[in-house]
Structure 1
């Protein structure tokens, strides 16, 4: 290890931001390379979904190519139809038929009459509904009442009872022909001519309620229609507000008849006069069908306009002047290919799952590092939050970007219209913002999970739950135009819903673009009020920035290690305090009573600490000042005092050993010193820096070998040392030399062991690697928690040599259960029982202080045990028998009562009197001291 120290001597300065970032990036890339199977599986999932969509699309295309979807009627005459309903969307219609222009007339039972909510005197009595003879009313208003009423007299054309319709359709333009048939999207057929409802001839007066049926040909098809006369009643209202109110009250809601009080139309002639014609029209949309796209009732409005225009012409030019409105006709239609893009139809749901699949991957990776304490292990070796966040974010962003690029490119290559029709620049911006938001979300919720399994379950539930809720809840609200848009924006604050909304918009544009043979979404489409993409982009961008800041804040509070004060960020705006300012006040209530109960050597150590704290500078590597840890009691149990006001001063070049039974608090003390848990009270200084406020600075000069090996299973031993060496600012040849020497020192160099993955190491090999990690980079303070656990005797002896060489220029705190190890390695020892030191000193001092006796052992026959005890009493009257079984007895002989020569002489004389099978005289061992002190302390605690 000497070569390691010399190689690292030039790297005393902490590693820079970019040096640490480089180390973490190299480690992540190596880790990623070792997870090739997992990566292939992740990338294969979107490929599988895309291929599945293509296969389903092929099945659909094959189905659409069947005969029943081909243009032309099958099996003979189609009547007025050019094709079946399955064919009409794609079949050509070069010469659409001519249809007479119609006016919308309310059905007899819905025509306006006097009711409880409409008491106008000029409306007919409600009794006419029983005989279905109610007139169809038209409301009038305008700035010139006399003009309006004059025009109203010419609004409906009069005709004789015998109408000649042989000249279709021009003959039908001489009357106001109406219908109460609902409008609908048909195969270029006016639905009134193929329904069983009668036609209405609207006239000023009806001599009879019915007229003769009419017959004519249209598109070589004979049509017979029944005609009924209906009186057109014109009613004046003083202003448009009255008209609006009356129309609203009488509007029929769906199939409800409770408020049905309908009018043909309403005219507001505004400022019309002899010199100008200005008109507003209200039309009846009750019979409009629910297409969700256009107001198809508008096709009946032209005849309403024509009636008013002819009335004004007659007013200006005389009774013979009129504009002939012969017919209406659809635009010719060419044949198109039948298209049904399955990727656009199901894209929002499937692609939401595909994109969100990275969320549980990122989440579990971050939680894994927390669960295995790898994050805090990296911090303990100097990795600061800045490089960690920067590289981790860039790392996950790069993975997400590669994933999305492969997804989009593959989808485009195999022909998915979802990608090919929409502008790629919009897609890039959308996916870029979302993957950043997804990474920020993973970082945000990671601190709330302590187990990878729990995080994994949550992650996949979130993925599938947000996709299903988006498809079957959010989509319903988006398509429901009556649902408040503001609540949709609130729902889109959930990242999964914002992703679904963006994909939904892409799918709508690609689906319609494919059907119409046009392109999908362009940047100009974002200004469309019905397009939610702009709002989604703004929400995701703002949320990304907000979540990233909140995630960093929560990471500092509950992310592991020593938790910071909630207002920790305020200290960045203050100047750094000096060392003297960082020292705590040395006034402790009740400490005097506690000190009086301590043993002299422990009290002396406390006094040394107090004296050091009063000095202007710290001369010791580690100073623990009354450090205490209390775990709050739960379920009715009392509080657990794990560490009882521990004070310790450790200079450079000293190895301090902590001995104690299991549960004594040794590991708790170590964990407080390395930042895994927060002290309840008191503090400690490492190289003059307070552990409560500046652990990040302490980590740059600290090495740790934890009780349990904290290693990446897929990284090799060499890769671990390279990573931690770079964190300690080792570079180039010095780094490679330090790594090789570290592997050699712990016997992991030869035979390629250092290049095997740590997951394949035995327990002893992992311990040796952990020791090598703790010593690389020349740390000034090293904590080793039971470093030799699980090692064979040869490896343990080799490890002891490593530690002895390493302690020359650094302070080491070591916990162990091996008395031999403590005696070989430690300059001073502290026996730790029930959270506090019972004694402190070097091994010889402790054996002399607590082991002032020899252990005399003799084995004879059972009949001669009394002679043995008599012999011992002659040597030492106050001897204490501590063991007795089957002729073997052990005695403690106070050193002040016997001499070793006298014991040997007495045994030689005894041999001539009785048979001695075996005997021995031993000095007190450190194990004896440990047992004696531990039992004494535990007995005292029981009595107290």
Structure 2
């Protein structure tokens, strides 16, 4: 039997070639995410457009671009809970001179501090609330989130404020009453965005519980910004609510915050003369980040992603069930492929395919997200206030969330998806049923998760334990993970966070951690259960094993129960056997007591019973076969259709499990050591089990490797097989099997059964469908191959049986009726001449009188119209007397034809089968 490396190599090469022939289908599957992402973007844009048109056109007034600056009593200072470096002392709140703090971080501290130092500039003060040019030229803001009026108060943020004017002053030259207050801008460096988030959280959430906020103006993460790349994440305050002014436009103060850092970066690169002027802002129909895009957007984002990821599941399940339904897996196993190599290589192969698919999915998503992100930023710079981020949160789910978290999530679910396919493949044996169920799971999961599961996730009152229970279904786990990623990505637009990172997994409100744990556990559990079901179910992978086969003593108990069942079956089988069948039974019983290595296969009272259904009795397909097959013998099984020949072959090859009895192949027990038997066995099944998209040469290479052939020996054996079976001419060897004729497929199946020098070969009607020349060629190859191996073949061709078989057994109604060589059977059951005469129907009685005169014990075996056939015992008839009687009969009545022949095997077969039935 081939070792693990050869089996793995053979299966891997076969899979590689098989899927190479389906490269177009694979490309379509891989490109499917790109098509859906494009469709998602188009539909989302259309949805947003329809939503805007439904609200009607809005032509807002031009408004000055202002910052939202914390009130003096709420600005960030050093407190007992805010021990962050650089913050001013709390005493500044008494004088109202606390600075407006901006937090800075990034990968390059020198660059970040240099750019941040240029954000606050000195500028003139406005004379009125309508002096847009001066306001646009400086850094101004209010402590309100609405724009309708300044309420007579305007903060002017500058690098430094004059100490002589620590308090508000009135600009006497203003046309309207306007208080302008100088606020010093303070830049503080932080080592990471996590530190900034912690400081913001403590300043707002924890401070709010004490009734004292500790707020910063904004936070800037320069990320990987350099001299060639500008990439900034801005965090700003969007938490103010004024219920009494709810009807006033609530515009987020992002444009000025962006303009500040943009100008600072341009001046860092090109000098202080470079400037991008922000003249005004205007309210958009849907304020950016103020509300979610809507239900249709959520549906498109998460449900589409769920469908895209699950598209691989039907492909894997269909491939596994296809091999089972076509009996290709058991065919591989019968030629030496073990369970462990099959599972490992198949799993690894599907994992590689799935990872390639997921890389394309993730890559398309990142590229699309980047494109959308850049597009939105471009419009924000060109037209301040038009915040387009919220229109594209579905695609930027890839951009804003941690790549590490996403990759781990997709990797774990990919493995879980493969494990689930293996689990379901152990249950299904029909490809169409499996495909329907698989696609129902794909599309049903998305719909049910959106309509049923998501509302429960959004419901804070719904018990968390029930959510975890629902997430045990892998589809809901996938949806929950995508939902969390989507929420964090949307949060990046709404409150300035940068999506989901590792540190957020510990948050009690984050469902991603529990999803990862559930999927990881199910990944392992599904694989174990799949392998267990594969072993105990007769699902196309061989004989079933006991339910507790993995326990140490279960194998011994199983053997004991089988032996008892075999003995009881032998004792209960009361039937009349011919002498040759009885002699065979006695020989087998002696071999069981004293084994002989010269015998390749031994069967003792092997039975197969199908339980009755719908009130019908049990059906014995095989009633108790006892047979000893020595090495170097070709044994032929003759029998009418439905006699049980194929059932017997199926039991010997592992396709069916015997109901009782025992069998040994090369000294190995058929019931308990079938996996070891497969390595020394060759099979040509009744129906050709071939891959349509593999060539004849590739079939032989694959099965040759399973027989431990490699290198020059493998190539030599393949070429010899192709030449012997006339498959090497005209490029037939390199033609796909689906293009083979029935005879060519049959010859290839026989060639597969003989490659690799198997010790026992089973051939079920090997010459069916062959033309006379091909049949004779096949007979010569099989006759030569039987010299060093045992061959069992079934056939309906008497010529084939006489030419190939050393012994013949006539199999009728589930059992052997006789055993012996061709001459022995003819002598035993055909000790007579076959006399045939054709005359007019009215002369039939005269023919009978003629035969009775030749032999009183003659027996009529056939009569149709004017043709009659008789058996004449050889000891009663002389051939010369027959010729004389016929010549005299021709003088009395017309004889159209007549014949006298010795007994043929066909006559013996008909006689034995008729008597048995």
TM > 0.5 fold call: yes
**What residue in structure 2 maps to residue 21 of structure 1?**
8
* Distance (whole Å) between structure 2 residues aligned to residue 864 and residue 471 of structure 1: 88
578, 588, 596: which one pairs with 2:567?
Answer: 588
SS in structure 2 at match of 1:625: strand
**What residue in structure 1 maps to residue 534 of structure 2?**
555
More displaced, 635-644 or 757-766? Answer: 757-766
* Distance (whole Å) between structure 2 residues aligned to residue 602 and residue 720 of structure 1: 39
* Distance (whole Å) between structure 1 residues aligned to residue 56 and residue 65 of structure 2: 13
Cα separation, partners in 2 of 1:889 and 1:476, compared to 1, 3 Å: closer
2:36 is the alignment partner of 1:49: yes
* Distance (whole Å) between structure 2 residues aligned to residue 746 and residue 497 of structure 1: 55
**What residue in structure 1 maps to residue 83 of structure 2?**
none
Q: CA deviation at 1:554?
A: 0.9
CA contact (8 A) 2:238 2:495 kept: no
* Distance (whole Å) between structure 1 residues aligned to residue 608 and residue 893 of structure 2: 59
Cα separation, partners in 2 of 1:780 and 1:100, compared to 1, 3 Å: closer
20, 28, 34: which one pairs with 2:21?
Answer: 34
* Distance (whole Å) between structure 2 residues aligned to residue 866 and residue 497 of structure 1: 86
**What residue in structure 2 maps to residue 768 of structure 1?**
747
SS in structure 2 at match of 1:802: helix
More displaced, 429-438 or 337-346? Answer: 337-346
Aligned residues: 705
Q: Deviations over 1:886-942 (max 9, x none)?
A: 65443221011112344345445666776654332101111111111111111xxxx
**What residue in structure 1 maps to residue 169 of structure 2?**
none
2:872 is the alignment partner of 1:858: no
* Distance (whole Å) between structure 1 residues aligned to residue 805 and residue 561 of structure 2: 31
Q: CA deviation at 1:570?
A: 2.2
**What residue in structure 2 maps to residue 567 of structure 1?**
548
2:780 is the alignment partner of 1:782: no
2:421 is the alignment partner of 1:442: yes
* Distance (whole Å) between structure 1 residues aligned to residue 521 and residue 733 of structure 2: 47
TM-score for the superposition, normalised by structure 2: 0.71
Q: CA deviation at 1:728?
A: 0.4
CA contact (8 A) 2:637 2:795 kept: yes
C-alpha root-mean-square deviation of aligned residues, in Å? 3.8
**What residue in structure 2 maps to residue 682 of structure 1?**
661
More displaced, 880-889 or 849-858? Answer: 880-889
* Distance (whole Å) between structure 2 residues aligned to residue 298 and residue 46 of structure 1: 44
* Distance (whole Å) between structure 2 residues aligned to residue 220 and residue 629 of structure 1: 106
More displaced, 457-466 or 593-602? Answer: 593-602
SS in structure 2 at match of 1:678: coil
CA contact (8 A) 2:401 2:488 kept: yes
* Distance (whole Å) between structure 2 residues aligned to residue 450 and residue 67 of structure 1: 53
* Distance (whole Å) between structure 1 residues aligned to residue 29 and residue 21 of structure 2: 14
**What residue in structure 2 maps to residue 610 of structure 1?**
589
Q: Deviations over 1:539-586 (max 9, x none)?
A: 111111111111111111113321001111124x99x99xx9999479
Q: CA deviation at 1:883?
A: 3.8
CA contact (8 A) 2:145 2:252 kept: no
SS in structure 1 at match of 2:509: coil
Based on CA coordinates, which of the two structures has the bigger radius of gyration? 1
* Distance (whole Å) between structure 1 residues aligned to residue 620 and residue 566 of structure 2: 21
Cα separation, partners in 2 of 1:651 and 1:57, compared to 1, 3 Å: same
Q: Where do residues 424-823 of structure 1 align in structure 2 (5 Å cutoff)?
A: 424-516=403-495, 518-558=497-537, 559-560=539-540, 561-571=542-552, 584=563, 588-589=567-568, 591=570, 594=573, 597-823=576-802
Q: Deviations over 1:761-798 (max 9, x none)?
A: 12221111111111111110111111111111111111
Cα separation, partners in 2 of 1:804 and 1:582, compared to 1, 3 Å: farther
CA contact (8 A) 2:400 2:500 kept: yes
* Distance (whole Å) between structure 2 residues aligned to residue 690 and residue 603 of structure 1: 23
Q: CA deviation at 1:53?
A: 2.2
Give structure 1 stretches of 5+ with no counterpart: 1-13, 77-81, 83-90, 102-184, 191-218, 222-278, 282-292, 301-328, 939-944
Q: CA deviation at 1:333?
A: 6.5
**What residue in structure 2 maps to residue 353 of structure 1?**
307
* Distance (whole Å) between structure 2 residues aligned to residue 67 and residue 602 of structure 1: 91
CA contact (8 A) 1:612 1:618 kept: no
CA contact (8 A) 1:344 1:508 kept: no
* Distance (whole Å) between structure 2 residues aligned to residue 458 and residue 670 of structure 1: 34
Q: CA deviation at 1:718?
A: 1.0
Cα separation, partners in 2 of 1:331 and 1:642, compared to 1, 3 Å: closer
CA contact (8 A) 2:833 2:873 kept: yes
CA contact (8 A) 2:67 2:256 kept: no
SS in structure 2 at match of 1:597: coil
* Distance (whole Å) between structure 1 residues aligned to residue 722 and residue 793 of structure 2: 21
Cα separation, partners in 2 of 1:47 and 1:95, compared to 1, 3 Å: closer
**What residue in structure 2 maps to residue 364 of structure 1?**
318
**What residue in structure 1 maps to residue 804 of structure 2?**
825
SS in structure 2 at match of 1:837: strand
Cα separation, partners in 2 of 1:96 and 1:687, compared to 1, 3 Å: closer
TM-score for the superposition, normalised by structure 1: 0.69
Q: Where do residues 45-84 of structure 1 align in structure 2 (5 Å cutoff)?
A: 45-59=32-46, 73-74=60-61
* Distance (whole Å) between structure 1 residues aligned to residue 901 and residue 735 of structure 2: 46
Cα separation, partners in 2 of 1:54 and 1:679, compared to 1, 3 Å: same
849, 853, 861: which one pairs with 2:828?
Answer: 849
CA contact (8 A) 2:313 2:418 kept: yes
CA contact (8 A) 1:623 1:649 kept: yes
Cα separation, partners in 2 of 1:93 and 1:721, compared to 1, 3 Å: same
CA contact (8 A) 1:344 1:510 kept: no
SS in structure 2 at match of 1:50: helix
Q: CA deviation at 1:422?
A: 1.3
**What residue in structure 1 maps to residue 339 of structure 2?**
385
Q: CA deviation at 1:733?
A: 1.2
Cα separation, partners in 2 of 1:526 and 1:920, compared to 1, 3 Å: same
